Amino acid sequence: MPYNGLALDRGRRSDADWLAAALDAGQILAYWQDKCLVAGGRPVRLPTTDREVVFLGAAETAVFAADLSDLDADTAVAQAGAEAAVDIRVLFPQLDRQEAATLAYARGMLHWTRNQRFCGACGGRTAAEQAGHVRRCADCGKLHFPRIAPAVIMLVESPDRERCLLARHRGARDYSTLAGFVEIGESLEDAVRRELHEEAGVRVSEVSYQASQAWPFPSGLMVGFRARADTEDVAVDHDELAEAHWFTRDEVRAQGGTRHDSIESYLVETWLGER
């Protein structure tokens, strides 16, 4: 699964002496406004920086990430010796598995860092600890940790399992599977049932887990399910969805492919491969 399987060793976050030495000999990925700074189509590695960095982990060398978002775009690109700031999902086709996972992880951590400068409890300024994986409020002492937002994504089968439900969101051109965030007080399976009924008017009782995917865009965890509808009744909410229909396997293939960096592709392709 894309962005899964990050192999970096993150176990030395509290070893200040080791981190200082590793920073001198490691590599620092550069970002601006959630975009990776690149040159020649490849991510830029800064030789050094006086900026706050986040330790991502160690493989052959230690890997850190730095955020240049306080600069304007042209200045950030120039300071990093880059050519452009590019969304990681655009880079994905030319990245190997580990590099994609590392770049996505860096993006998520820097996004959290940039948005946790102040304490949500008292408004005080926070400072980094544990190599950027914890932020402590200077006023009330509250510790802030990176949070993830779990979401469910589901391939819904018709009662006879011969068709699947795809929807077109408002403002979108293509059809896709349905998804939604998990709310407080519900299980993952309950979230599947609620989202399908709220958005598409579809009732399902049979829900089975398929796979999960790291999705740090900026802080998601996608949990994939297969669900079987009780009936073929569909009634879209016309709030998030414009329309939803049942498609045969041949009709899904005719729609074209899904994005191959998303768990949606796995869910759809798995279903297409079944008789």
Reported as a single tens digit per residue, the pLDDT across 155-169 is 999 999 999 999 999
Collapsed DSSP state (helix, strand, coil) of residue 94: helix
Q: For domain 16-115, give the CATH number.
A: 3.90.79
Per-residue confidence (pLDDT) for residue 255, from 0 to 100: 85
Give one word for 5, left, alpha or beta, with left for phi > 0 and alpha for psi -120 to 50: left
229 in Cβ contact with 202 (< 8 Å)? yes
For the record, the structure tokens of 211 come out as 């796979």
59 in Cβ contact with 12 (< 8 Å)? no
On whether the 149-272 domain is CATH 1.20.120.1750, my answer is: no
Dihedral over alpha carbons 1, 229, 193, 153 (to 10 degrees): 20
pLDDT tens digits along 129-179:
999 999 999 999 999 999 999 999 999 999 999 999 999 999 888 999 999
Check if 16-115 and 149-272 are the same fold.
yes
Q: Is the pTM of this model over 0.85?
A: yes
Would you say residue 257 has pLDDT above 70? no
- Max intra-chain CA distance, the chain: 62
Question: By C-alpha distance, which of 64, 48, 68, 44 is closest to 56?
Answer: 64
pLDDT tens digits along 60-84:
899 999 999 999 999 999 999 999 9
Dist CA 27 CA 180 (whole Å) = 36
Domain ranges of the chain: 16-115, 149-272
Q: Which residues pair with 39 in a beta bridge?
A: 42
CA distances to 48, 61, 147, 269 from 192, rounded to whole Å, are 46, 41, 21, 20
